[in-house]
Amino acid sequence: MDKYLEMIRIRFLMMLAYRTNYYTGILIYSINIGAYYFLWSAIYGGKEQIQGLSIAQMTTYVAISWMARAFYFNNLDREMAVEIMDGRVAVELIRPYNYLVMKMMQALGEGIFRLFLFSVPGLVIVYFIFPIHLTWDIAVWGLFAISILLSFFINTQINLLTGITTFFLFNNSGLIRAKRVIIDLFSGLILPISFFPVWAQNVMNYLPFQGISYIPSMIFTKGFTAQHAVYAIGQQFIWILILIVPIQLLWNLAKKQMVIQGG
């Protein structure tokens, strides 16, 4: 366990060395939040509410879902693809740790770094520019914290799965790009799930993606009742358990028929 904690720490320190890259990142996210803020204002027009969300809640939703993205987002799939393609993964596999757990811990170190040096200052800046309502209800913050941690795990598991496919496809850059686009749409980042037509919502209920962005953002904007929030967190938790299965299966299969490229 100690070695994995150490992984988190090292990755955190590594990111700290390159922190200037992150100031422009905050600006980029603010630009995106701004674009959606103006769009949503025009969409609401004079309407009080759409699908149970007021314009103030919608603005908060947009802001929090982008800032949360800074925490759960990582390029694990791309990193894995590179390591697999240039053969470095062979060395990783003989080291005394579980490769997948180690990758996840590195991503967590990165996420924690971005949470404190990106999301928190970013949220403060965005709070002063756009009409955002932050709640002072401790319970909401608590549920949000749990939910966002779970969304990190779901997103990272999907990244691991995508990364492992490199073993079988050899070049999966197209798949990685497609996955990113699908997650942006189906996780509720650019559009709350409740806005989709009912049939699409029903389909998405059976997919893990809404656990990445929609659930934590809805909890934060109080779009969910407390009861619904607890239920949704349970749903996220179940998805984490379910996703372990394909990862283990593919991973075992990959190790058996591995071809080291180059090296």
Partner 1 sequence: MFYVTMLFQYMSQYMKTRLQYRTDILVEFFSDLLSQSVNLIFILVVFGHTDLLGGWTRDEIIFIYGFFLVPYAVFSAFFNIWDFNDRYIVKGELDRILTRPIHSLFQIILERLELEGLLGAITGIAVMIYAGSRMGLTLSWYDPFLFIIFVIGGALVYGGIFIILACISFWADARTSIMPMMYNISNYGRYPINIYNKIIRFVLTWILPFAFVGVYPASYFLGRHELLFYSLITPLIGVVFFTLSILLWNQGVKRYRGAGN
Binding site for partner 1 (CB under 8 A): 21, 24-25, 27-28, 31-32, 34-35, 38-39, 41-45, 47, 50-51, 171, 173-174, 177-178, 181-182, 184-185, 190-191, 195-197
Sorted by sequence, the CB contacts under 8 Å of residue 256 that are 6+ apart come out as none
Which residue has tokens 């002063």? 128
Q: Which two tokens stand for residue 200?
A: 């699409």
Distance (Å, rounded) from C-alpha 149 to C-alpha 109? Answer: 13
The smaller minimum CB distance to partner 1, of residues 5 and 178, is found at: 178
Q: In angstroms, what is the minimal distance from the CB of 52 to partner 1?
A: 12
The smaller minimum CB distance to partner 1, of residues 43 and 139, is found at: 43
The smaller minimum CB distance to partner 1, of residues 97 and 168, is found at: 168
Instruction: Indicate the burial class of 163 (C-beta count within 10 angstroms; 0-12, 13-18, 19 or more).
Output: buried
Q: In angstroms, what is the minimal distance from the CB of 146 to partner 1?
A: 29
**Residues 144/231, Cβ–Cβ less than 8 Å:** no
The smaller minimum CB distance to partner 1, of residues 66 and 153, is found at: 66
The smaller minimum CB distance to partner 1, of residues 105 and 163, is found at: 163
Q: In angstroms, what is the minimal distance from the CB of 35 to partner 1?
A: 6
Q: In angstroms, what is the minimal distance from the CB of 74 to partner 1?
A: 17
Left (φ > 0), alpha (ψ -120 to 50) or beta: where does 53 sit?
beta
